[in-house]
Structure 1
Amino acid sequence: MRAKIVFASMTGNDEDMAEILEEDLLDAGLDVDTSDVSFTDASDYLDSDLCVLVTYTYGEGAMTDELVDFYEQLKQLDLSGKYFAVMGSGDKTYKEHYCENVFDFEKAFLACGAKELIAPLTVENAPTDEDIDRIDQAAEELANKLNG
């Protein structure tokens, strides 16, 4: 099974999350490719069984330019037969906008016909040890569902 992880990271928090997930999925026997959203076309997901997006939400939920471009590309794809997961970081001081972009991408993947394997995983700011454990558990669940 092939997994494509795309991450967007302003502070490094989401890149760290993507790296943890990548290592876990590799350990579970998946073929994993990880890349920064700025250097990735959404159509790269077409070559994978599992499509993962790890993103941050900046301020009150407005997507940054690189996220908007990727989001618009993603909405044009047919991902029927693919699986997906989304995760990312945010700041709870923004209340209803906390991790808003994570949920925006969840809706986009669903609209493209992909099947969600796990609920969105959100982290406040940098991943703590508890958050790392949650990422590890998510990776295990993803691998188990993919490997049937």
Structure 2
Amino acid sequence: MRARILYATLTGNNEEVADVIMTELQRLQVETTKEDITYVDALDLDPAEQDILVTVVYTFDLGTLADEALDFYEDLPDANLNQVVYGVAGSGDVYYGDDYGTAVDLLEAQFEKTAGIKGASGVKVNLRPDVPAVEALQKFAQQLVQTAQKR
């Protein structure tokens, strides 16, 4: 089984989130790669190249999506994700109240327009992964693998 993690980060927090997910996927014997989402074109995604696709993006200014992920986001509904299991995680700051972690919600809504299979509910991390967030991210990765094994 193969997984691909695409991330965007300004402060390094989301790379830490991606690393937690990657470590757990690898522990579960999933061949995993991690890439900056800036360099990935959603229209070039090939279902044969990954069983699981994870995006990890931060929420920016008043609940908007990270600039690095905008092109990917806009093209995602037209991407070929037939039978690919997807999941979304990302960091935010609870200081922003209702705008906390909305990038996760925005990307999940875009993924729902594809032929992909939602593998787990999105995970929002306040700033950096603390112990409870690490546990939530590990469960998230485990759910993705379980869903991929059932398809």
Q: TM-score, normalised by structure 1?
A: 0.91
Q: How far is the alpha carbon of 1:58 from its aligned partner?
A: 0.9
Contact 1:45–1:51 (Cα < 8 Å) also in 2: no
Distance in 2 between residues matched to 1:102 and 1:18, nearest whole Å? 13
Amino acid at match of 2:40: T
Aligned runs of 1:1-148 on 2, under 5 Å? Answer: 1-42=1-42, 43-44=44-45, 46=47, 47-148=49-150
What secondary structure does 1:75 align onto?
A: helix
% same residue: 28
1:86-127 Cα deviation digits (max 9, x unpaired): 001111222221111111110111101211111111111111
Distance 1:85 1:45, change over 3 A: farther
Distance in 1 between residues matched to 2:129 and 2:92, nearest whole Å? 11
1:52-98 Cα deviation digits (max 9, x unpaired): 10110012122333211111222221322111100011112222211
Alignment coverage as a number of residue pairs:
148
Amino acid at match of 1:15: E
What secondary structure does 2:79 align onto?
A: coil
Contact 2:82–2:116 (Cα < 8 Å) also in 1: yes
Segments of 5+ residues of structure 2 without an aligned counterpart are none
Q: RMSD in angstroms over aligned alpha carbons?
A: 1.5
Q: How far is the alpha carbon of 1:45 from its aligned partner?
A: 5.4
1:35-54 Cα deviation digits (max 9, x unpaired): 01122222235321111101
Distance in 2 between residues matched to 1:45 and 1:14, nearest whole Å? 24
Contact 1:7–1:15 (Cα < 8 Å) also in 2: yes
What secondary structure does 2:78 align onto?
A: coil
Find runs of 4+ consecutive structure 1 residues off by over 6 angstroms.
none
